Structure 1
Amino acid sequence: MSGGRVLLVAVLIASLCLNVYLTVTLIQLRSDYRRLEEGFRELAAQNENLTRQVKSLRSLLEVVERQLDYYRNQTIYYSSLIGETGGVSGSLEGRAVVNVVAVKAIPYGFFEVKYEGVALKAEVELREGEGRVLVNTEPRIGIDLQTSSRVAVEVAEKYTGVSLNRTDVIITVRGEEEVEVVDGPSAGLAITAAIIAAITGENLSSSVYATGTINPDGSVGPVGGVAEKAVAAAEKGATMFLVPKGQATIVVYEKKVEEPVPGFKIIRYIPKKVSLQSYLEGLGYHVKVVEVSSIWEAYSLFKPSP
């Protein structure tokens, strides 16, 4: 065999070995790439789940913080709720219905909960009695109205100058289904308006909704879940939505998706301040949002337009 043929055979053998090596390497690289791609997808899914959980926890934290503020204030004033009220005394009879909005908890996936607004009806009935405040729900609604209802009675007495010490106040909250409501005190403003209407014999508008705690001095306190409640009210045909002072502006979380490398997405929710009214308009609802600071400012807005 000539030297040229030997060299050619050697080159062919070397080329074959190199091709085998490159093929094995390519197969290994493709396998590694698939594993990395699967890992990226898993991390992206975990990131989205964690981000969603954080958003849900932020909503719950806002609601709980507002409730803690409310109950802290009631602790300070609680001794005054025993019922020393001046003004006209005697038993009364009356009835009024008002819209109530709250936030309900909904199971979402494994160990996750999301929060949505829910619209309810509250009926206030005045009967001759002993000054008791009775709260019922139909069907079962996990809502705490006892403390806020007692404050509402006191404020209604101050507003009208009428004592209810010989009148029982019966409050019945009605919903379309059994729900677990997480923010009962936020119905205080609406309940107060209904008690006043029952005393005075006035009607309340069926298209006005409100959220806000009520304090013994008649001031309206802040609440959580304003956006969720506003949407629930809008879905029921609200034309006006009353909110505590400073809460006509809300924080919404815009979804932002980033893809630093192909196949790996990072999802973040960026906080952004917007007006509640424009937020509702963006969803196709036309609701007038009005801030109120006290029952004296709010009550006239509950009444039907002339």
Structure 2
Amino acid sequence: MPNPKYKKAVKEINTDIPANRNKALNFIVFFIVILSLLNIFLFFYDTYFSRDKGNEPLLRLDGKSSNDFLSVGNITMIAMKVPAVDDKGNGLSTYLVVEVMPGSGRTLVDIDNLLFWADTQQNIRTARRVAANMTGMDINKYDLVYSIYANATVIGGESAGAAITIATIAALENKRLNESVMITGTINHDGSIGPVGEIIAKAKAAKQSGSKLFLVPLLQSRDVLYETSQHCEKFGPTQVCTVEQVPRKISVSNQSGIEVVEVGSVQEAIKYLLI
């Protein structure tokens, strides 16, 4: 006959098994929660506090200004407005964003609503090379990401060459841009700024975006408008009329309502654009 004490001991052991399992399960859940909280803390610490205190970056990406600056950790981003012309000939502002991060010298591009993609691609290559020469930095140690955002189909990208170069320099040197200044112009390998078309339309777009100063290539602060004129002559009883295009020089500043300054190179332009 089994010992009553033995039965009682077995019953107590069996009763304790579910309790021990619950304790183990609770401990595992508690441990997972602690790990999750620790990971969240480390993420925010690395994002907001792991910076060089001697060069504290300014975090400002509120979408209210035309040129925004963001530097978090080892990533720097510059955003600026660039004037352009759509497929209907109207001036508009596009957003150019340049990001710089540690990498292996890659150039990544994200551009929508743009015609003549090959021209823009070549401009980015030239801008990258000129920015490297002017800063003296080894850009093979960085990855550069270029993004252009437009609400309409933009014609070409050559006229953004100067802006792309200056935005790249600002991102590499961790500097801010003057948000009251916009620029148009192609970029040449020696850092000079070349001519563009549709100056008046772009100047008006700069004015509408809230800019106070518009930088243009040399000799382009004045433009030529062709006015249609009809000239008629009588030859006996017959009158012969011809339509002529009469050139007229105009001030881009007067036509657009924004101050216009000519610049011949990126070196000149950064005096107005970099802060």
Is TM (by shorter chain) over 0.5?
A: yes
Q: TM-score, normalised by structure 1?
A: 0.59
Whether 1:105 and 2:120 are equivalent positions in the alignment is no
1:190 counterpart = 2:163: yes
Deviation at 1:194, TM superposition (A): 0.5
1:272 matched to 2:254: no
C-alpha change, 1:180 and 1:303, in structure 2 (3 Å) is closer
Which amino acid in structure 2 is aligned with residue 292 of structure 1? Answer: V
Structure 1 residue 209 and structure 2 residue 182: aligned?
A: yes
How far the C-alpha of 1:207 sits from its partner, in A, is: 2.4
1:126 aligns with 100
| Runs of 5+ unmatched residues, structure 1 | 1-91, 107-114
* 3-state SS of 1:165 partner: helix
Q: With a CA cutoff of 8 Å and minimum separation of 6, indicate the structure with the bigger relative contact order.
A: 1
> For residues 44-64 of structure 1, what are the alpha-carbon distances to aligned partners after superposition, in whole Å with 9 as ceiling and x for unaligned?
xxxxxxxxxxxxxxxxxxxxx
Letter in 2 for 1:187: A
Matched, 1:142 2:124: no
Equivalent residue in structure 1 for 2:149, among 171, 174, 181? 174
Residues of 1 paired with 2:222 and 2:157: CA distance? 22
Aligned to 1:205, the other structure's residue is in SS state coil
Task: Quote the Cα distance in structure 1 between the aligned partners of 2:203 and 2:268.
Answer: 20
CA offsets 1:276-296 (integer angstroms, 9 cap, x no match): 11222xxxx2x1111111111
Alpha-carbon contact 1:135-1:172 (below 8 Å) kept: yes
> What letter is aligned with 2:140?
N
Counterpart AA for 2:246: I
- Residues 249-271 of structure 1, C-alpha deviation per residue, up to 9 Å, x if partnerless? 1111234466879xx99765422
1:248 to 221, 224, 229: 221
| Identical pairs, percent | 35
Q: 2:84 touches 2:154 (CA, 8 Å); kept in 1?
A: no
- Give 1:40's aligned residue: none
Q: Aligned pair 1:290/2:261, yes or no?
A: yes
Q: Deviations over 1:91-129 (max 9, x none)?
A: x631111221222222xxxxxxxx222210100001222
Report if aligned partners of 2:253, 2:260 keep a CA contact under 8 Å in 1. yes
Is the CA contact (8 Å cut-off) linking 1:99 and 1:119 kept in structure 2?
A: yes
Q: Distance in 1 between matches of 2:165 and 2:250?
A: 29
Distance 1:130-1:303 versus aligned 2 partners, 3 A rule: same
In 1, Cα distance between equivalents of 2:160 and 2:224: 21
What is the RMSD of the two structures over their aligned residues, measured on CA atoms? 2.5
AA in 1 matched with 2:126? V
Alpha-carbon distance in structure 2 between the residues aligned to 1:269 and 1:234: 29
Whole-Å Cα distance in 1 between the matches of residues 274 and 267 of structure 2?
A: 13
Conserved? CA contact 1:98–1:191, under 8 Å:
no
CA positional deviation for 1:231:
1.5
Shift of 1:142: 2.6
Residue 295 of structure 1 aligns with an amino acid whose one-letter code is V
Shift of 1:146: 1.1
What is the aligned partner in structure 2 of residue 233 from structure 1? Answer: 206
Deviation at 1:219, TM superposition (A): 0.8
Post-superposition Cα deviations, 1:176-226, rounded to whole Å, max 9, x if no partner, equal 23x141x31110100111011111111112221111111111111111121
Which structure has the highest helix share of the two? 1
Does structure 1 residue 93 correspond to structure 2 residue 67?
no
Letter in 1 for 2:247: P
Tell me, which stretches of 5 or more residues in structure 2 are unaligned? 1-73, 235-239
Aligned partner of 2:98: which letter? V
- Residue 172 of structure 1 aligns with an amino acid whose one-letter code is S
Code of the residue aligned with 2:97 in structure 1: it is E
Q: 2:187–2:194: 8 Å Cα contact kept in structure 1?
A: yes
The structure 1 segments of at least 4 consecutive aligned residues displaced by more than 3 Å after TM superposition are 255-261, 264-269
Mapped contact 2:98–2:147 kept (Cα < 8 A): yes
**8 A contact 1:124–1:195 mirrored in 2:** yes
Instruction: Indicate how the Cα distance of structure 1 residues 233 and 266 shifts in structure 2: closer, same or farther if over 3 A, else same.
Output: farther
